[in-house]
Amino acid sequence: MPAVGALPSSSEDPDANFREQLSNLQGLLVLSMLMTEAGDERKILNLASTAVPSLGRSRLWGVHLHDSGWRSMTDGPAPGGDGQVDLTAQLAVLGSAGGVVAIPGEAWGYAFPLRSLDGEFGYMVVAADNLPPPPEQFLLRVLAQQAAIALANARLHSRERARAVELRVANAALAETVASLKRSTTIHDRLTQVAVAGEGQEGIARAVHELTGLPVAIEDRHGNLTAWAGPDRPHPYPKDSPARREQMLRHAREAGGPVRTHGRVIALARPRPDIVGVLALLDPEGRFGAAEQAALEHGATVLAMELARLWSIAEAELRVGRDLVEELLDATDDQVPLLRAQALGYDLERPHRVVVIASPGDGSSPSDDSLFHAVRRAARDVGVGSLQMSRGETVVLLSDAEQDWEEFRAAVVTELGDSRCRVGVGSRCLRPTDFRRSYREAGLALRLQAGVGRNGGIDRAILFDDLGVLRLLLTNDDTAAIERFAHEWLGPLLDYDAKRGSEMVATLTAYLEFGGSYAGTAKAIAVHRSTLKYRLQRIEEISGYNLSVPDIQFNLQVATRAWQVLETLRAEPS
């Protein structure tokens, strides 16, 4: 058998063979150009399959690629059956030069290697009824080689296209990253400028509004507006109930980032557990995106820094204030406190009052230092002064303004979240040594409330100046005379209460305090009107006094107040 690619025999016409070979090579050259331009493996292999019969008496049996197995040369399936399995085993042991293979049902078969400078791709398997002459085998080998070159070129172009796509994607991602970094840098620089310039919460809100184009609100933990930037500021500013506000704050804390709620996107600024600020973007149309999120998060960070700074200043002021309050409450000299206040820049020569605030002690009182901070916020909002300190279970405030003290008490209650509290206000201080007296008066006014009514007394603000005859009784050093007067008028009732464990004196006290009003008295001591009427009848029977006589009412009221004074003085610390 002649070797593949052998020269034609001498018995044949050399010129005719040469012309035929040249014609076939020219055809292969055109076919090679077409396969190279095709750029697609399937088209390349289809062109090669079409060309095989035109080169002689051979036919393409199949193409086996190392990376994908047998390939169909047409739209039909690739060769299959036992022949394919057997051929695959034969190809596995062939070398890079290819070689003769046994094809079931075919007289001759040969596997031409698909080989190029980039490597080997597989084999082009050709079959024939007879051994093809050497020129035809040569042309088939050239065809396989050109197909391999076209395949290498197609795969190279495919890799280049894939790299180009990857490069475009990477460039797009890089451009987006650069743009994002640029936006982030702009946001960071603008808000850093606000922080360095000390523009405060108004400056933060204004900067975030400029960066996002959305209205911006800054709120404290209770929902009070502290800064606004942008159009359409609501008047009045809406405020959630305490329960709903706490629920919203809890949800934001658990989310760990910006959250959307009721047409707003909010972020928490929380430099300390007891300090919470809220930075909110009003976004009812859902414009919030990556840029807005970056501005909101950066703004919340700067707001946290601002709140921490304000807290530090406030703590320093409170610490200095506590020292001054402590000194004034025990002052026995005017000059030293005045000099200390002047050094601190505080005007102590204005008239002041000492205010004592306490919780009722019935389980509804606030915990930890919440009363202290509630008093501080209420004092700031109402405008009654800034010097305060905790003393025992009470908070002492030095007020340099005359106010509606019940309004102040209501403000404290609101800050506490509707917990109860009482307020006692001492008389005016015109010099530092007056603060000690005013503090005692405020404490006495506070303790007087505990003796009225049931369930821990009545919650209200009492000004020592408004106590009338009680002021004389409280400042009277002859407590024995006060006790004699009280027993003269209340003795039988006091004895009755002591023996029976009843509350006749307390009922009479409330009745007289409320000016003989059945409704007010019944509500104060928490009894039914019929029970109150029965008690008043028993009081008249036990005491022997007619409660409808004005002079008797006056003396009994003085006596009940005198008894309150005695109880208060007995409870006063020595």
pLDDT, tens digit (0-9, with 9 covering 90-100), for 367-426 = 557 888 888 888 888 888 878 888 888 899 998 888 888 899 988 888 887 678 889 899
Same domain, 41 and 115: yes
In a domain, 178, yes or no: no
Range of the domain at 60: 14-160
Same domain, 213 and 123: no
Residue count (the chain): 574
Outline where DSSP puts E strands in 50-172.
59-65, 69-71, 99-100, 108-116, 119-128
- Weakest-pLDDT range from 10-19, 291-300, 344-353, 503-512: 10-19
All residues at 6 or more sequence positions from 139 whose CB lies less than 8 Å from its CB, including other chains: 21, 24, 25, 28, 55, 56
In a domain, 442, yes or no: yes
In a domain, 569, yes or no: yes
Q: Is the pLDDT of residue 480 over 60?
A: yes
Question: When comparing pLDDT for 568 and 431, which is higher?
Answer: 431
Same domain, 37 and 18: yes
Percentage of residues in the chain having pLDDT higher than 70 = 85
Q: What is the pLDDT of residue 29?
A: 75
Q: What is the pLDDT of residue 218?
A: 93
Looking up residue 221, the CATH number of its domain turns out to be 3.30.450.30
Same domain, 287 and 390: no
Percentage of residues in the chain having pLDDT higher than 90 = 11
Same domain, 483 and 444: no
In a domain, 349, yes or no: yes
Q: What is the pLDDT of residue 364?
A: 46
Same domain, 61 and 118: yes
- Weakest-pLDDT range from 189-193, 312-316, 530-534: 312-316
Same domain, 245 and 297: yes
In a domain, 183, yes or no: no
| Domain stops at, among 445, 465, 485 | 465
Same domain, 292 and 385: no
In a domain, 322, yes or no: no
Residue 32 identity (one-letter amino acid)? S
* pTM of the predicted protein model: 0.45
Same domain, 109 and 207: no
Same domain, 481 and 557: yes
In a domain, 248, yes or no: yes
Q: Does residue 510 contact residue 521 with C-beta atoms inside 8 Å? A: yes
Same domain, 514 and 427: no
Token reading at 29:
């050259």
Q: What is the pLDDT of residue 568?
A: 66
Same domain, 48 and 135: yes
Question: What b/e string do you get for 16-54 counting C-beta neighbours within 10 Å, with b at 16 or more?
Answer: eeeeeeeebeeebeebbeebbebbebeebbbbbbebbee
**What does the alpha-carbon distance between residue 159 and residue 421 come to, in Å, rounded to a whole number?**
79
Question: When comparing pLDDT for 447 and 87, which is higher?
Answer: 87
| Domain stops at, among 446, 465, 484 | 465
Q: Is the pLDDT of residue 25 over 80?
A: no
In a domain, 457, yes or no: yes
